[in-house]
Amino acid sequence: MGRPYVFITRKLPDDIIAPIKDIAEVAMWPHDDIPVSRDVLINEAKKADALLTMVSDVIDQEVLKAGKSLKVVANMGVGFDNIDVPAATKYGIAVCNTPDVLTDTTADLTFALLLATARRIVEAAQFIKEGKWKSWSPFLLAGVDVHHKTIGIVGMGKIGQAVAKRAAGFDMNILYHNRSRNIEAEKQLGATYCSFQELLATADFVVCLTPLTNETRHMFNREAFRKMKQSAIFINASRGAVVDEQALYDALVSGEIAGAGLDVFEHEPIDASHPLLTLKNVVALPHIGSATGETRTKMMELASRNIIAVLQGKQPETLVNKEWNSR
């Protein structure tokens, strides 16, 4: 039997993928900033024993079915809504993600986005660079306080808890909503569980960190924004499709809510003509939650280790489909 064949959907640094090359033939899409084309992805899947994928790659039934000898899809991201996990399980393909290594980095960015939106940091930085600072004035670029306010975290997983920890440092009152209560988080972080409706009505900062599933798609809809306080700031660092963007836009324009900090969008990438980018009360980032050199390196290394483990017949470190039976 020959060496296994691994396809990587973006150009990753050679030293990071060297351990995969020790045990397998590796082919890589040659660009780090252009997504792999659908044709290439399907053709490569046909030959591959393993795919190392990005969260922007659509790994659906067609790709998985084409992968007759595919044993593992290792996604570089904690989210895996881009992968048809039930289909992978059906075909005996392991699906792996990269949790834990990105928790604190993503929580830092989420909190930075919250601070930036509340204190108008992007607007202020632009103001000074454009030479508009002519004098001190009492309400020049005045934002709203973060400390001692109420944060409402929707999705109290690992990143949600890490955000709660940061909020505690700002003396915030912490509310959360989750599929199930997290008693440990309540004890350790002083967080209070409440219904989604109660959280929306009470929080000064509504922070979305819930994974995208059929249940959470568009859960932040017209009704949800209407429930929020007019002074509320909405932060999204999970997946764009958890939000009905038209409803968010309308809520921001009509003053139903005060502002939004968004790291994610329903159809990424977006361009400058996207309606949400035209609003002054929106701080937008290009999906950089986990984007530090250190963390992205750890994510690539973990995805590589997951591939190596499966190809060597071992249990991968971070398996998504726990019911997976290798083919």
Output phi, psi for 192, to 5 deg.
Answer: -110, 130
| Residue 78 binds to ligand 8YV (criterion: CB under 6 A) | yes
With a CB cutoff of 8 Å and minimum separation 6, the contacts of 141 are: 120, 123, 124, 127
289 binds ligand 8YV (CB under 6 A): yes
Least Å distance, CB 201 to ligand 8YV, is 29
CB 208 within 8 A of CB 265: no
Residue of 166, 177, 287, 298 interacting with ligand 8YV (CB under 6 A):
287
Q: Does 285 bind ligand 8YV (CB under 6 A)?
A: no
Q: Among residues 175 and 320, whose Cβ is nearest to ligand 8YV?
A: 320
Q: How far is the CB of 12 from ligand 8YV (least distance, A)?
A: 11
Interface residue with ligand 8YV among 72, 76, 172, 251 (CB under 6 A) is 76
Helix (H) or strand (E) holding 51: strand 50-54
290 binds ligand 8YV (CB under 6 A): yes
- Tell me whether residue 152 or residue 289 sits nearer to ligand 8YV (CB atom): 289
Active-site positions read: 239, 268, 287
**55 in contact with ligand 8YV (CB under 6 A):** yes
- Residue 294-313 contact track with ligand 8YV, rule CB under 6 A, x = bound: --------------------
Q: State the DSSP code for 277.
A: G
The piece of 42-50, 77-85, 128-136, 196-204 that touches ligand 8YV (CB under 6 A) is 77-85
Identify the residue among 79, 122, 123, 217 touching ligand 8YV (CB under 6 A).
79
C-alpha distance from residue 66 to each of 62, 123, 303 (Å): 6, 48, 22
How many whole angstroms from its chain centre is CA 38? 23
Distance, in Å, from the CA atom of 231 to the CA atom of 112, rounded to the nearest integer, reads 19
The Cβ of residue 190 has, within 10 Å, a number of other Cβ atoms equal to 13
Stretch that binds ligand 8YV, among 62-70, 142-150, 193-201, 284-292 (CB under 6 A): 284-292
Who's near 283: CB < 8 A, 6+ residues apart? 113, 116, 117, 121, 122, 259, 260, 261, 262
